[in-house]
């Protein structure tokens, strides 16, 4: 295995929402071109795909949007790694509904360290470097059995390092525990604290419990992910979610984020104004026309392609997702670069998501 | 008790190590017990024992016994 550069060091700087789109293109394109050649040289199936697409060796594209992408689904059907099998240190699997196929993502030691550091840099942009007291909108049971972490358990554990004095909002049986929340708020509620959970659980278990008990969450910083599909039935979209939290609990610092296991360590984070998701400096998105695959103009929805300089141990640096999205603007928001929203899943994509595993394993219990 | 002895004790009970484990040569994820779950328990136990607070970067960087020891010294814990 040849390591030409350490993307964790070169790609991730201190504040990671700093690059304008031109600057991003200039810095990212050479790295992505190098990564494309690296994966061609080290992952034979990837090279075969690029050959079949007619991508010339050494010249994968003159713009980020020209680079060849892999459909994210490919990781479900093929073991794609750019490191030898004996260097694989950790294999991640995507969440999936029972019986559905899961992606398998192989990390070597360096890639595992790089993704942790990149995620940390990204979230520190909104959380700061200090570890805050942390409210987990989940049950401690999801991290109990280390041999069988669900995707949700892995998500909870992945976030735990950003906080301290972890308190779970649900008890071991998955029932809301308002007393635990009340004790947490008595101890920590007068200074900034961190709240983490999957979007629909945050709504169902934190919002509803906090509103009923009139809990004051005004010092909280909420980080949440997992999609809106389950909340669509309740007519809760992002704007409603933010407005109701603000009005009924005082919680206004809310950051949704978007990411996937197939590009582990890269997350797109909702800006402080709650207007859109932003790309960290080592990543980008391209929204494509689902028929012509050309890049859509600003404001026109299409299929989201996610781009990141992070994936080095598997060819996941340019991935076509199964999500619909829209770019709202470029260099015109709170942070520079593209700002975008995820509109939902492509109609024919199977249901998939971290929070989906909850209803299946625990049942949708009333709050 | 020296910081070294106290820290070894913390590693032993936080990670539930066998008595014959060579703690000083341990590295994160080289044994099953020091996985991400064990790491959270370890960080909390070290903070309790030495009355210190690590920041996020320190939690991520703490990948070996020696690293944890050096961090404690930097935070002003004596030998």
What does pTM read for this prediction? 0.88
- Contact assignment for A131 to B37 by CB distance below 8 Å: no
pLDDT band at A29 (very low <50, low <70, confident <90, very high): very high
Give the 3-state secondary structure of residue A211.
Answer: helix
**Does residue B18 lie in a domain region?**
yes
Give residue-wise pLDDT tens across range A278-289: 999 999 999 999
Q: Which two tokens stand for residue A258?
A: 């978007």
Provide the chain B residues 46-65 that lie in CB contact (below 8 A) with chain A: 47, 53-57, 59-60
Count structural domains, chain B: 1
- Contact assignment for B53 to A131 by CB distance below 8 Å: yes
**Does residue B25 lie in a domain region?**
yes
CA pair distance A200, A190, nearest whole angstrom: 26
**Does residue B56 lie in a domain region?**
yes
Q: What is the CATH number of the domain that holds B41?
A: 1.10.1200.10
Residues of A in contact with B40 (CB under 8 A): 157, 160-161, 166
**Interface contact B39, partner A, CB < 8 A:** yes
**Does residue B15 lie in a domain region?**
yes
**Does residue B79 lie in a domain region?**
no
Q: Please report the pLDDT score of residue A95 as a whole number.
A: 63
Q: What is the ipTM of this complex?
A: 0.82
* A364 compared with A204, residue with greater pLDDT: A204
Give residue-wise pLDDT tens across range B11-60: 999 999 998 999 999 999 888 889 888 999 999 999 999 999 999 999 99
**Does residue B59 lie in a domain region?**
yes
Interhelix angle B3-14/B36-50, rounded to 10 degrees, is 140
What residues make up the domain containing B10? 3-74
CA B46 vs. chain centroid, Å, equals 6
Q: Please report the pLDDT score of residue A348 as a whole number.
A: 66
* A201 compared with A355, residue with greater pLDDT: A201
pLDDT band at A157 (very low <50, low <70, confident <90, very high): confident
**Does residue B42 lie in a domain region?**
yes
User: Which distant-in-sequence residues (6+ apart) come within 8 Å of A157 by Cβ?
Assistant: A143, A149, B36, B37, B40
Q: Please report the pLDDT score of residue A28 as a whole number.
A: 97
**Does residue B19 lie in a domain region?**
yes
């Amino acid at each position: 295995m040849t390591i030409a550069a350490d993307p964790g060091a070169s790609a991730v700087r201190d504040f990671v929402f700093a690059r304008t789109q031109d600057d991003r293109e200039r810095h990212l394109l050479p790295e992505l071109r190098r990564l494309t050649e690296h994966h061609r040289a080290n992952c034979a199936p990837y090279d075969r795909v690029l050959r079949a697409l007619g991508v010339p060796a050494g010249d994968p594209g003159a713009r980020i949007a020209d680079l060849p992408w892999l459909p994210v689904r490919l990781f479900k059907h093929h073991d794609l790694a750019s490191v030898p099998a004996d260097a694989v240190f950790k294999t991640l699997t995507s969440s999936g509904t029972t019986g559905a196929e899961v992606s398998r993502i192989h990390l070597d030691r360096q890639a595992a360290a790089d993704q942790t550091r990149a995620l940390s840099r990204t979230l520190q942009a909104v959380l700061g470097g200090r570890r805050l007291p942390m409210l987990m909108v989940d049950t401690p049971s999801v991290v109990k059995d280390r041999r069988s972490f669900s995707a949700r358990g892995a998500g909870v554990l992945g976030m735990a390092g950003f906080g301290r004095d972890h308190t779970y909002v649900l008890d071991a049986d998955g029932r809301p525990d308002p007393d635990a929340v009340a004790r947490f708020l008595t101890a920590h509620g007068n200074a900034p604290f961190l709240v983490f959970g999957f979007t629909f659980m945050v709504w169902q278990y934190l919002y509803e419990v906090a509103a009923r008990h009139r809990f004051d969450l005004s010092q909280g910083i909420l980080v949440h992910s997992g999609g809106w599909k389950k909340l669509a039935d309740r007519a809760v979209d992002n704007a409603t979610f933010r407005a109701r939290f603000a009005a009924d609990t005082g919680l206004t610092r809310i950051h949704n984020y978007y990411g996937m296991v197939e590009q582990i360590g890269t997350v797109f984070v909702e800006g402080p104004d709650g207007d859109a998701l932003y790309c960290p400096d080592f990543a980008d998105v391209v929204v494509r026309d689902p028929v012509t695959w050309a890049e859509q103009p600003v404001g026109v929805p299409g299929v989201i392609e996610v781009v990141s300089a992070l994936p080095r141990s598997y060819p996941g640096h340019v991935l076509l997702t199964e999500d619909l999205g829209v770019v709202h603007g470029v260099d015109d928001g709170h942070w520079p670069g593209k700002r975008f929203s995820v509109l939902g899943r492509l109609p024919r994509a199977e249901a998939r998501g971290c929070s989906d595993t909850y209803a299946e394993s625990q049942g949708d219990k009333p709050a | 008790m020296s910081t070294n002895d106290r820290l070894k004790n913390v590693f032993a009970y936080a990670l539930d190590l066998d008595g014959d484990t060579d703690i000083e040569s341990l590295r994160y994820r080289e044994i099953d017990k020091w996985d991400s779950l064990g790491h959270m328990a370890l960080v909390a136990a070290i903070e309790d024992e030495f009355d210190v607070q690590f920041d996020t970067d320190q939690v991520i960087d703490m990948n070996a016994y020696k690293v944890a020891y050096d961090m404690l010294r930097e935070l002003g814990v004596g030998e």
